[in-house]
Structure 1
């Protein structure tokens, strides 16, 4: 399995995530943690709380439509793993998010920017787990 190097798309996506995080913090005083936003959307504290979370989630899932508007075609999406691996991965992410009290967007983007020791430790753990997972999949299992 080969990983395609996409520096311009990655830079653009990272810049958009950073801008969105700063805007959410600046205008709403909220941290851009995707799992926290989703959890609050599923069980909102108020109608106003639900509205901003719905807007952020709509923005997250509308990215492919924006690409289609600019390029005229939907972006290609390749999922190089089996549905079973997707389910296992989703469960592992859920466990990790629960134990670390947040996800890569909350800890890695916002928490690191605030120099939060907890977020630095969580992000280091995420990166180590990712490195080990990729190594095992590519060199041990041969996926």
Structure 2
């Protein structure tokens, strides 16, 4: 019996709890691109929590790699340059859209923000179109 749905449920619940606590305790939306941007272009008195967040993300990934590496054993079936280009485009899109998938898709939609709902529809549609195009052209399997 497959447990993928259970892992998704647990992961989604943990993300929901984490972003709710961030909003409750810090008064901030958990938009990763905005948090990173705040480190790159810092404002006095608004940097420490951002670094804690980023270090926490890295330590969480590292601890998963050490304790349960099978969860990270995914074969990426695309070339490195496409991954780098995709990451660059995602970063540009996050700046252009005033936030990223975590800020708009997780936090904004749950707050019923019209701007976030539209942004989520746009980036989900663009992502699906990009995958369809890349598969059609043979650049992605």
TM-score calculated relative to the size of structure 2? 0.84
Task: Structure 1: give runs of 5+ residues left out of the alignment.
Answer: none
Shift in Å, 1:44: 2.0
Give, in whole Å, the separation in 1 of the partners of 2:122 and 2:87. 17
The aligned counterpart of 1:44 is 42
The aligned counterpart of 2:32 is 34
- The 1:81–1:18 alpha-carbon spacing in structure 2 relative to 1, beyond 3 Å, is same
The aligned counterpart of 2:137 is 141
* 8 A Cα contact 1:68 1:75, kept in partner: yes
- The 1:73–1:104 alpha-carbon spacing in structure 2 relative to 1, beyond 3 Å, is closer
Give, in whole Å, the separation in 1 of the partners of 2:134 and 2:69. 35
**Ranges of 4+ aligned residues in structure 1 off by more than 6 Å:** none
Shift in Å, 1:77: 4.4
The aligned counterpart of 1:75 is 72
* 8 A Cα contact 1:65 1:74, kept in partner: no
The aligned counterpart of 2:125 is 128
Shift in Å, 1:86: 1.4
> Across the two proteins, how many residue pairs are aligned to each other?
137
* 8 A Cα contact 1:64 1:74, kept in partner: no
Q: Which of 106, 110, 133 is the matching residue for 1:109?
A: 106
Provide the alpha-carbon RMSD of the alignment.
2.2
Task: Structure 2: give runs of 5+ residues left out of the alignment.
Answer: none
TM-score calculated relative to the size of structure 1? 0.83
Shift in Å, 1:73: 6.6
Give, in whole Å, the separation in 2 of the partners of 1:129 and 1:103. 13
The aligned counterpart of 1:11 is 9
Which moves more between the two structures, 48-57 or 64-73? 64-73
